[in-house]
Structure 1
Amino acid sequence: MSAQEERHALTPPTALYDHVLHLLRDSPGGVPSWRGYSLPQKTATSAGSSSREEAKSAIREALSPLPDDPAILHRRFERLGIQDRHRHLINSIVAGLPLPAERLDAARTLGRRLIRTGTTAPTVTAGIALLGRLGGPEDVPHLSVLGLFRDLTGIAVKALDILDRRSAGVVWLAVYARRDELQPLVHALWTGDRQAMRTELVALPASPRFVSSAVARRISEACLLSDLLDDHPSDTHLVARAGRLLVRMGRSRDDAADLLGYHDGLRVYNSVVSRAGLLPPTLDNTAMLLSLALDMSSGTGVLLDWPPGLRASLLDSLGRLLAEPRWALAGATASNAEQRRRVDWIRRTGRQPFKSRAASGPFRIEVVAGDPADREPVETRVLIDGRPVVPAVFGRGPAHSPEYLLDDGRLRAGDEPREVQLAEANCTEGCCGALYVRIRQDAHHVVWEHWRQTMPGSREPTPELPAYRFDAAAYGAEVARAETDCSWSWRARSIARLIKAGLVEDPGLLSRWDASRGWISSGFDDPDTAVVTFWYVPGLASGRPERADSPLQFRWVITDDGTTPESQAAAALRRLAEEDPKSYARVCGGSRERAEELGFTWPDSV
């Protein structure tokens, strides 16, 4: 062995805690670099567990019995081949490890020694998990520092969520807030500068591209938003920002757990609504307050642990405020298309959350169109006993659109049971699952039963849900009411729905051109357009389709011309009857090879 190798062998590795402290001291202002830090080294072992079950067995063996000396646990992990990639298993197993009362102090001491002296991710992970169960306020600074390692952030934040929500939020944002626009706020949070926090919080961009539901929750926790509001009761800019953060947390596109897991949610709702009258009646503030009301009446906000009467009282207060003339005139001078869409949305939707409170019964349907400035989806919210089903039992994406659930009659009950997908994860079912229920009529009742959640790759059992029975006559009347109520819809969306209804009634309008109906709705990028898509397969009309497995998709965009939706839809259907739509629609899907083979231009944007 060379002299240099001998020195390296005799020099113990640096504790991970000391390593990250060194990195922090070298960072400008002692503020962590964006996205945290990488672990200095990976745990290398000559042997490793080849399967998840083998790894779990090895981790349990290493932890039994739980030693007092961190070095013993380190050697056990090393001998049994426990590696960095097993850290989430370690965290899970330690979290559920039986600990007799007489061993709690020893286990807490071991956890503290592991996080301060551990040199590998597995041993430090075990320490973090122990302190998530047994730690106290004195452990928060050490866990916060270790959480700056990207590989340990999730585990450290989970422990901090139990011990100190504010610190958990600061660490989470320091590593995961990936927008440059959020960095000044992260700097203020890390340094604990309350005045800078307030300034940067108010200056945050309003777009959901910058503030998702998870970011909104972590910002609110890290800033101690409820305390900040109490400290500055007349700061209307802060009140408006707090309201927008609540709206973000309640977004149906994101995880319902963000709002439901925000412990100060009720305090912030109360502060915002009670001070809403101080806000200037701008278009932004009107949209924010209306969005809050929609969420409190039929969205995720319903599911918070409201004291008796408080939610109704806050909704009544918002209803009275938004009915005042000065608020009703907000946006009257809209100067661009986006503002006009927002004003129209407020006009259509402005009384919905307050009227719906008068509705009663165990089964209710609310079609809710969200703020068009945020590109919120239109969703068919089903409420059972006053509680919205999708965020209550699924929470990974919005309820399906009325075009899917209502226009196609999927919620109608019949003698033959029908399984209906009520919601799909925003990222697709194949990624994060979907929610299904079976609907059937049983004499004078409609039964919702056999609930099913899909969650690809999940090892956790899905919660079992009870069967619900509704009076058949009342159920049918509510479905019929929702199917015919188009008050939520704007002009282009109505045009699209009427075109779709015409094609459902007469599918030959498309099939004569070797085409079949695809997605039809208002445009996502331009909600003032109706978009008709269809699939083209040569020979489809004759019953001899050519290469049906390689269809081309076409897209036809219809711009609202200001005439009635009925006349525009009728004109579109006449054109489909008289002209081959492939001559005026554009290819938008399929394959370049197939498009060129059939003589169509493949768009560069696909």
Structure 2
Amino acid sequence: MSAPEERTAPTSRPSPPKSRAPQATSYASCANDTSLHDYALFRRGIEPDARVPARGYPLPDGPPEPDRPRLTLREAQGEVASALADTLADPDPVRAAAAVHLRVRSLVMPHRTVRACVLRLPLTDEAAARRTGRRLVRTGTTPAAVQVGLGLLSRLGEPEDVPWLTVLGTLRGFERPVVAALDRLDRKAAALLMLRTRLRDAALDPLLDAVEAGDDQATLAALTGLPPDFRTMGYARRMAEAADLHRLLRAHPRDPALLLRAAGLLRRMADQHDVRAEILDYGPAMETYETLIGHADLPEPTPAYRAVLLSIALDLHSGPAALLGWRPGRREALLDALGRLPAAPTPDGVLDDPAERRRADWTARTGRQPFRVPPDGERLRIEVVAEDPGDRGGVETRILVDGRPLVPALFGKGLGESPERLLDTGLLRAGAEPREVRLAEAYCTEGCCGALYVTIRREGDEVVWGDWRGAVGPTPPEYRFDAAAYDAELERADRDRPWSWPARSAAKLIADGLRDRPDLLTRWDALRGWVGTAWDEPDTVVVSFTYWPGLAAGNRDPEGPWLQFGWRIPPAGTPIEEQAAAVLDRLASTDPKSWAEILGGSREHAERLGYPWPERG
């Protein structure tokens, strides 16, 4: 097999070479030795606006990708090493690349598995492997061979490889590995490629076009001109990297619109609802916080802007931003600067809007939380943080050891558990018997991406946290706390509830009542479920329970039909103690299945139990 000779590097907005690219919309008839790189140039050249489609251009027709469902990583690693190790040490890149094309045909495994194995493959001559990787990326003709090249350049690539990688990244199935390779070499190029191929929001096109054109003024205008409600979840860091946000802020530190956009991006980068908080991977994060907070008084102090600044303060105080490499005292100084900003005036009529009223209440309740100075020598701190209800509105228990939040440091796949689960149930209390406690669950459920567990035990006058399970990275150390101080902190966290709003507090009283008097539900063949506030209406309490015939008599059939119900309790306009008492009294006298809504189970179960299955749109 021969491959085309290497060429000069492509430009950032490549067009197909007129003398080489076929003048047709089909590439199936091209010769077998045409590289995938040239194919990508061709596809971009025939697009009317030269825009990359979502997920990239489809690959040319070829043999189906191999699959081996029972293949283990160890087996794959051995097969790849046997096929490629000696070839990648060949000093002649042309001969080595030709050999790779031949040998990968024998590897019956997905192409991404081949690349993953190359990423782990011991290399005896890195310079030779780099030359072969470049040859494969620039002239490789099959997806498997090109994935080998991507694996090599992900480890060994240099700045000169960026244009070639960027072109390949426009092909479907190559965008993720190319972004991973570019992340080492050029964060802006990686961000542009990801936003072009993954986010695919037309509102971003002016920004991406301006960045690619190198027009700073147009970049500034496009970034600040994005719609106020533009959703950046999962892509905030890439937007900041593509636009070179830190450099823009240095050049325009007093631009109110840019400061507003920077505040929104920093807040979103610290979000923990999904994957690892992006702020931890944003290189100039600390400098960007410094510039923003140094000029935070310039934008109009609207309630929405002040809510974002308060959220940023919470991130710096007990969230993932606290994990950045701050020099001693600097993070505290930034928090002090945020804490000295004057309160935002409440415009007339805002409190007539329920959503704005909830945000104003949250700001009032939470306003001083991130600005409290911890006692000297405090080892353990438990902070319950309620998020801005105008944003995600989640509530989590943040556990800090020596000032460092554990969940984003050790897990980073979701929020900490709710206070109802960790504090109200006493799970964090240390007893004579060791107890394993789940501190956080992955945003996509434990069954998908895991959870973080710790075993808590008491040893004399110490409480020990150890035997960690589910942590990302090295096994965490064992933490030891003074038992008296530990118990005192749990008591303080349980009493200190400014984060809770009336409906949430009423839900706690109801949950406590049902925990103390389980017969209120079991008399109706019902088992208590989740008690809290409705995600779509935070001022509404929801009491969920499972109807299992025979439960009260002690002869429940575990294989028999069941139904899950939910009772939505709107605000009553009365003190929360009265509202909770009224709920418990009603359960004592009336079967809640007569008014609650069916939330789960099955149509078959509902029919067998004599209940109409709800028809939902």
TM-score, normalized by length of structure 1? 0.91
- Report matched runs for 1:55-74 at 5 Å: 55-65=76-86, 66=88, 67=90, 68-70=92-94, 72-74=96-98
Q: Provide the residue aligned with 2:6 in structure 1.
A: none
- Sort the Cα spacing of 1:520 and 1:180 in 2 relative to 1 into closer, same or farther, 3 A: farther
516, 519, 540: which one aligns with 1:505? 516
Q: CA shift at 1:287, angstroms?
A: 0.7
Structure 2 partner of 1:254: 274
Provide the secondary structure at the position in 1 that maps to 2:538: coil
Q: State which of 353, 358, 372 in structure 2 corresponds to 1:336.
A: 353
Question: 1:605 matched to which residue of 2?
Answer: 616
1:290-305 to structure 2, matched below 5 A, reads: 290-305=310-325
CA gap of 1:451–1:217, structure 2 versus 1, over 3 A, is: same
Distance 1:110 1:598 in 2: 68
> Does the 8 Å CA contact 1:539/1:546 hold for their aligned counterparts?
yes
Q: What does residue 476 of structure 2 align with? A: 465
Question: Match of 2:493, as an amino acid?
Answer: A
Higher mean alpha-carbon deviation, 138-147 vs 594-603, is at: 594-603
How far does residue 316 in structure 1 lie from its aligned partner after superposition? 0.4
Query: Does residue 403 of structure 1 match 2:420?
Result: yes
Quote how far apart the aligned CAs of 1:464 are: 1.0
1:277-292 maps to which residues of 2 (within 5 A)? 277-292=297-312
Verify the 8 A CA contact 2:547 2:564 in the aligned structure 1. Answer: yes
> Considering only aligned residues, what root-mean-square deviation do their CA atoms show, in Å?
2.5
The Cα of 1:376 is off from its aligned counterpart by: 3.0
Contact persistence 1:418–1:439 (CA under 8 A): yes
- Aligned 8 A contact 1:48 1:81 in 2: no
Quick check: 1:70–1:118 contact (8 Å CA) kept in 2?
no
Q: Does 1:245 align with 2:269?
A: no
Aligned pair in 2 of structure 1 residues 78, 433: CA closer, same or farther (>3 Å)? Answer: same
Query: How many pairs were matched up?
Result: 586
| Residues 275 and 443 in structure 2, CA contact (< 8 A), matched pair in contact too | no
Shift of 1:360: 5.0
Query: 1:441 touches 1:447 (CA, 8 Å); kept in 2?
Result: yes
Q: 1:585-604 counterparts in 2 under 5 A? A: 585-604=596-615
Structure 1 segment 191-590 matched on structure 2, within 5 A = 191-205=213-227, 210-212=231-233, 214-321=234-341, 324-325=342-343, 327=344, 329=346, 333-355=350-372, 357-358=374-375, 361-453=378-470, 462-546=473-557, 549-590=560-601
For residue 115 of structure 2, the aligned residue among 91, 103, 108 is: 91
Question: Cα offset for 1:163?
Answer: 0.6
Distance in 1 between the 2:48 and 2:432 partners?
69
Q: TM-score, normalised by structure 2?
A: 0.89
CA displacement, residues 90-113 of structure 1 (integer Å, 9 cap, x when unaligned): 33333344445xx44433332222
Contact 1:421–1:435 (8 Å) recurs in 2? yes
Structure 2 unmatched ranges of 5 or more: 1-27
Q: Is the partner of 1:493 in helix, strand or coil? A: helix
Residue 12 of structure 2 corresponds to: none
**Greater shift in the superposed pair: 410-419 or 130-139:** 130-139
Q: Which runs of 5 or more residues in structure 1 are unaligned?
A: 1-7, 455-460
SS at match of 1:244: helix
Specify the code of the residue in structure 1 equivalent to 2:449. C
Distance 1:338 1:140 in 2: 46
CA contact (8 A) 2:293 2:334 kept: yes
- The corresponding residue for 1:457 is none
Between 1:547-556 and 1:72-81, the stretch displaced more is 72-81
Which residues in structure 2 correspond to 1:12-91 (within 5 Å)? 12-43=32-63, 51-52=71-72, 53-65=74-86, 66=88, 67=90, 68-70=92-94, 72-79=96-103, 81-82=105-106, 86-91=110-115
Does the Cα contact within 8 Å between 1:24 and 1:32 map onto a contact in 2?
yes
- The whole-number CA distance in structure 2 between the counterparts of 1:345 and 1:47 is 52
- The one-letter code matched in structure 2 to 1:447 is V
Aligned partners of 1:260 and 1:225: how far apart in 2?
Answer: 16
Shift, 1:174, TM fit:
1.1
SS at match of 2:463: strand
Is 2:175 aligned against 1:153? yes
- Spell out, residue by residue over 1:304-329, the C-alpha distance to the aligned partner (whole angstroms, 9 max, x if none): 111222111100000001xx25x264
SS of the residue corresponding to residue 53 of structure 2 reads: coil
| Counterpart in the other structure of 1:139 | 161
Contact 1:37 1:149 in 2 (8 A): yes
Q: Distance in 1 between matches of 2:362 and 2:68?
A: 59
In structure 2, distance between residues paired with 1:60 and 1:313: 53
Aligned equivalents of 2:65, 2:505: Cα separation in 1: 63
Contact 1:43 1:121 in 2 (8 A): no
Equivalent-residue separation in structure 1 for 2:30 and 2:345 (angstroms): 76
Q: What is the CA deviation profile of residues 400-425 of structure 1, one whole-angstrom value per residue up to 9, with x for unaligned ones?
A: 00000001010111111110000000
Distance 1:108 1:232 in 2: 40
Q: Which moved more, 1:125-134 or 1:264-273?
A: 125-134
Asked whether the equivalents of residues 546 and 564 of structure 2 are also in contact (C-alpha less than 8 Å), the reply is yes
